[in-house]
Structure 1
Amino acid sequence: MSRAAYDRISEQYRAGRTGPEMSVADQRAGFEQFAGPIPADVDATAGTLGGRPVLGLRPQGGAHAGALLYLHGGGYVIGSARTGAAVAAALARRTGTTAWSLDYRLAPEHRFPAPVDDAVAAYRDLLDAEGPERLLVAGDSAGGGLAVATLVAARAAGLPMPAAVAVFSPWTDLTLSGASILDRAADDPLFTLADLRAYADRYLPEHRAAEAAASPLASPVLADLRGLPALYVHVGSRELLLDDAVRLAANAAHADVDVVLEVAARAPHNVPTLVGTLDEADRAVERAGDFLAARLPVAAAVR
């Protein structure tokens, strides 16, 4: 991995970062402008899953190996199916699946557990359409935490698990107890502790925020992960959320889950979402896609 490339991206993060003082509307509008490109050889179609809008992303040509549910990042407050589409499309190409990038409800209009409910409903629909052995789940940042929470909720509901799950820079601890939140405070070019608190305050129920934050569906790093599928975790070493990812992987290992943790030295938050614009991001998504594809019954990846 290129330290120079990560340093360049970090400087861009610093120059473009916004704080919690911005309105939600302005944050959402600004975030949409950074949505990455959908590859020309991937067909995008609007649809519905679990009663919510979804963007279907299907690579042209090749066999159909299954489906991938993708959950975008944005602190549960910003982002959309479109902002998650670039990574979802890249994973679809690598795994030979059709990816479905979900527009789950956002806070503060729809607080916890609304996104979990939406993701589980979409997961149910894909289970009915594909079966668990042909189903993958992935997500980035808050969407990475949501991906794991979705599977914890699905397991509690008696639903079968998918073939595998991949998460990038997952936000898995809304209690904000990870040591790296303080240790990396001077090094993270994108987030401050105040940023994370602002997102958590908008997402968690106003009158029982502390109780909700400690729920395994809000903070899946606190969940019992036994019975979850094979897990791939990617994170950068200069992130406030480094320990959210490291502890998630460790807990998965202790729960006898097949897990791969990749820590990119000196990388900032969520580098894989720069897929299509940064070689390091492309390679990270390729490795995640290979991990997912290897667990499907038919290896139909589009290389």
Structure 2
Amino acid sequence: MPPSDIDVIRARLAAHPRPADLAERRARIESLGAGYALPPDVRVEPVDAHGVRAEWTSTPAADGERVVLFLHGGGYVSGSLRSHRHMVAQAGREARARTLAIDYRLAPEHPFPAALDDALTGYRFLLASGIAAARIALAGESAGGGLALAMALSLREAGLPLPGCLWLSSPWIDLALTGASLESKAAVDPLLSRAYLAELASLYLNGADARGPLVSPINADLAGLPPMLIQVGSAETLLDDSLRLAQVAGAADVAVHLEIWPRMIHAWHLFYQDVADGRRSLTNAGSFIQSHLDAR
């Protein structure tokens, strides 16, 4: 039997293991996404979002009044506009929306709360540009998912209008690393381990409390947040973060849709051009975003 599409990705990752040097780690994540070409109908436009580097993408069917604000993954220390551009553009296509990806500052050069400050600046840029909050979807992958949730909490506390919905892909929302799947899924996750996550958390926190709600939103009061879609693979050490988040959000009367994708690995959306479930999960995310931005 030939290997499945996700097994091909596993083999590709195994052939290029994570290096020890930070600069090389950043280059590795760049290479994961840079190998995927953008479809010819995708328009990319760099933008200065009130001093934060950002990037618009759009496709011909995009509704200019709907925006997906996207925060890339990379453990707060790597990832970029380039590494996630192809996937962000596809998510926008599926949502029939423009996307604004934020190139937030990275640790260890810029620890917490630099990334959160940049993300919030990007949101305020959208509001100042005339985009209604109810027509914005906050989205993020991995660390970016935790950052998107921290953004929503910060907006609520500041009394600013909340977005129409949240799309959280494999979100990392517990930097204290208390989830049981860190051990139970260690043998099947090809990307993340407890030791690696602990290193990333230390670089980002730089002495901040790992249980603080703006770095570990699993510990926050989530009442009043907009509807959220959580997507996670069954083969992730971060699986328990998503399971617990759905429980905590639901208990706070937040509308939650949780999708657990069998055999999928961390950040499988990045490989959507090669992985059928990557394409299907982006289609689901786009439908969720459309339905909630149109309803507000």
Q: TM-score range, shorter-chain basis?
A: over 0.9
Among residues 268, 271, 287, which one is paired with 1:271 in the alignment? 268
Q: How many residues align?
A: 292
Report the counterpart of residue 87 of structure 1 in structure 2. Answer: 87
Report the counterpart of residue 235 of structure 1 in structure 2. Answer: 232
CA distance in structure 2 between the partners assigned to 1:240 and 1:17 by the alignment: 17
Distance 1:183 1:63, change over 3 A: closer
> Partner of 1:18: helix, strand, or coil?
coil
Cα offset for 1:275?
2.2
Report the counterpart of residue 204 of structure 1 in structure 2. Answer: 205
Q: Which amino acid aligns with 1:179?
A: A
Report the counterpart of residue 58 of structure 2 in structure 1. Answer: 58
Question: What TM-score do you get using the length of structure 2 for normalisation?
Answer: 0.93
CA distance in structure 1 between the partners assigned to 2:284 and 2:99 by the alignment: 17
Distance 1:31 1:223, change over 3 A: same
Report the counterpart of residue 159 of structure 1 in structure 2. Answer: 160
Identity fraction in percent: 39
CA distance in structure 2 between the partners assigned to 1:269 and 1:246 by the alignment: 15
Distance 1:247 1:3, change over 3 A: farther
CA distance in structure 2 between the partners assigned to 1:298 and 1:66 by the alignment: 12
Contact 2:166 2:229 in 1 (8 A): yes
> Partner of 1:261: helix, strand, or coil?
strand
CA distance in structure 2 between the partners assigned to 1:37 and 1:159 by the alignment: 37
Cα offset for 1:273?
1.7
CA distance in structure 2 between the partners assigned to 1:28 and 1:257 by the alignment: 35
> Partner of 1:234: helix, strand, or coil?
strand
> Partner of 1:60: helix, strand, or coil?
coil
Contact 1:65 1:95 in 2 (8 A): no
Question: Which stretch of structure 1 is more off in the superposition, 284-293 or 23-32?
Answer: 23-32
Among residues 220, 223, 228, which one is paired with 1:223 in the alignment? 220
Deviations 1:224-269 (A, max 9, x none): 1111111001111111100111111111111111111111112111
Cα offset for 1:62?
5.3
Cα offset for 1:7?
2.8
Larger relative contact order, structure 1 or 2 (CA cutoff 8 Å, min sep 6)? 1
Aligned pairs for 1:6-155 (under 5 A) are 6-18=6-18, 22-35=20-33, 36-61=36-61, 63-128=63-128, 129-155=130-156
Deviations 1:136-194 (A, max 9, x none): 11111111111111111111111111111101111110000001001111221122211
Report the counterpart of residue 259 of structure 2 in structure 1. Answer: 262
Distance 1:50 1:245, change over 3 A: farther
Distance 1:37 1:222, change over 3 A: farther
Cα offset for 1:61?
4.6
1:285 aligns with 2:286: no
CA distance in structure 2 between the partners assigned to 1:234 and 1:39 by the alignment: 25
Contact 1:185 1:240 in 2 (8 A): yes
CA distance in structure 2 between the partners assigned to 1:61 and 1:289 by the alignment: 13
Contact 2:18 2:28 in 1 (8 A): no
> Partner of 2:172: helix, strand, or coil?
coil
Question: What TM-score do you get using the length of structure 1 for normalisation?
Answer: 0.91
Mark the runs of 5 or more structure 2 residues left unpaired by the alignment: none
CA distance in structure 1 between the partners assigned to 2:50 and 2:154 by the alignment: 15
Report the counterpart of residue 185 of structure 2 in structure 1. Answer: 184
CA distance in structure 2 between the partners assigned to 1:37 and 1:253 by the alignment: 38
